[in-house]
């Protein structure tokens, strides 16, 4: 079956703009998590959605938001972009988001803020 699909793969924006990233999980997976990856900080958890509800949230400002649709597809939005938001944004899906479940990651969206 198809893996986790993230679109777009690359994105270039300027400061102050907003951006929406999309993630289609593996069919049948109901949990979608988002991570930000930078060379300096590594992978940092943004939030997790399950059955259209945000179930868990990391320590990111309110400019970072997300949502999940009834088909489990998820989007994340970043408003008022800052230079420091340049990063690889990874989405991961799992069946139910339980503690020891295997996470399946997409290839990510590389966001550059100029």
Partner 1 sequence: TQLLEQSPQFLSIQEGENLTVYCNSSSVFSSLQWYRQEPGEGPVLLVTVVTGGEVKKLKRLTFQFGDARKDSSLHITAAQPGDTGLYLCAGARSQGNLIFGKGTKLSVKP
Q: Point out which residues bind partner 1 (CB under 8 A).
A: 4, 33, 35, 41-45, 48, 56, 58, 90, 92, 99-100, 102-108
- Give least dist CB 47 to partner 1, A: 9
Distance CA 34, CA 92 (A): 6
Decide: helix, strand or coil at residue 101: coil
Alpha carbons 112 and 94: distance in angstroms, whole number = 28
Choose between 19 and 23: whose C-beta lies nearer to partner 1. 23
Nearer to partner 1 (CB atom), residue 14 or residue 41 = 41
Task: Please state the length of the chain.
Answer: 114
Closest approach of partner 1 to the CB of residue 11, in Å: 15
Closest to partner 1 by CB, 66 vs 106, is: 106
Minimum CB distance to partner 1 smaller for 48 or for 85: 48
Q: Of 42, 48, 6, which is closest to residue 25 (Cα–Cα)?
A: 6
CA angle 100, 31, 8 (to 5 degrees): 120
Nearest-approach distance from CB 74 to partner 1, in angstroms = 15
């Amino acid at each position: 079956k198809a893996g986790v699909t993230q679109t777009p793969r690359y994105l270039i924006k300027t400061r102050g703009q907003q951006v929406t990233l999309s993630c289609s999980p593996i069919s049948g997976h109901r949990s979608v998590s988002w991570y930000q990856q930078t060379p300096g900080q590594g992978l940092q958890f943004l939030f997790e959605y399950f059955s259209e509800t945000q179930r868990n949230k990391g320590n990111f400002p309110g400019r970072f938001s997300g949502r999940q649709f009834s088909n489990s597809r998820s989007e994340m939005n970043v408003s008022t972009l800052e230079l420091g938001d340049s990063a690889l944004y990874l989405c991961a899906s799992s069946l139910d988001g339980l503690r020891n479940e295997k996470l399946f990651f997409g290839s990510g969206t590389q966001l550059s803020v100029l």
